Amino acid sequence: AQSVTQPDIHITVSEGASLELRCNYSYGATPYLFWYVQSPGQGLQLLLKYFSGDTLVQGIKGFEAEFKRSQSSFNLRKPSVHWSDAAEYFCAVANNAGNMLTFGGGTRLMVKP
């Protein structure tokens, strides 16, 4: 069975600073990997996903993530954080049958003015 670990429960960054959220997964084959964002009072929204090919994927709202097979990681990055990015971020993995989406515990991002 696959699993996802997000080591950082909370992260605080200053507005305009760069951001990296960590995600480590466990799965025997090449997984499908996702990042979702959950803003207060709103539903989960897909930021980006990786299936195959280029290991650097671009998403919405200026986010990107890099798949590193050797490290079993799929870290999310943004070069300059905006106050509106404050939210909870979830990394998730699906098996290679396209089923069983498993979420990590989430990282809560706070943005200082």
DSSP string, 67-99: EEGGGTEEEEEESS--GGG-EEEEEEEE-TTS-
42/70 with CB nearer another protein? 42
Which residues share a beta bridge with 11? Answer: 109
Segment lying near another protein (by CB under 8 A), choices 11-19, 20-28, 77-85, 88-96: 88-96
The b/e string for 33-42 (b: 16+ C-beta within 10 A; e otherwise) is bbbbbeeeee
Please tell me the distance from the alpha carbon of residue 31 to that of residue 10, in angstroms, as a whole number: 26
Question: Under the criterion CB under 8 A, does residue 75 sit at the interface with another protein?
Answer: no
Minimal distance, residue 17 CB to another protein, in Å: 25
54/113 with CB nearer another protein? 54
Closest CA to 35 of 71, 82, 73, 2: 73
Question: Under the criterion CB under 8 A, does residue 105 sit at the interface with another protein?
Answer: yes
Query: Locate tokens 């097979």: which residue?
Result: 69
Binding string, residues 25-64; x marks residues near another protein by CB under 8 A: -------x---------xxxxx--x-x-------------
Write out the residues near another protein by the rule CB under 8 A: 4, 32, 42-46, 49, 51, 90, 92, 94, 97-106
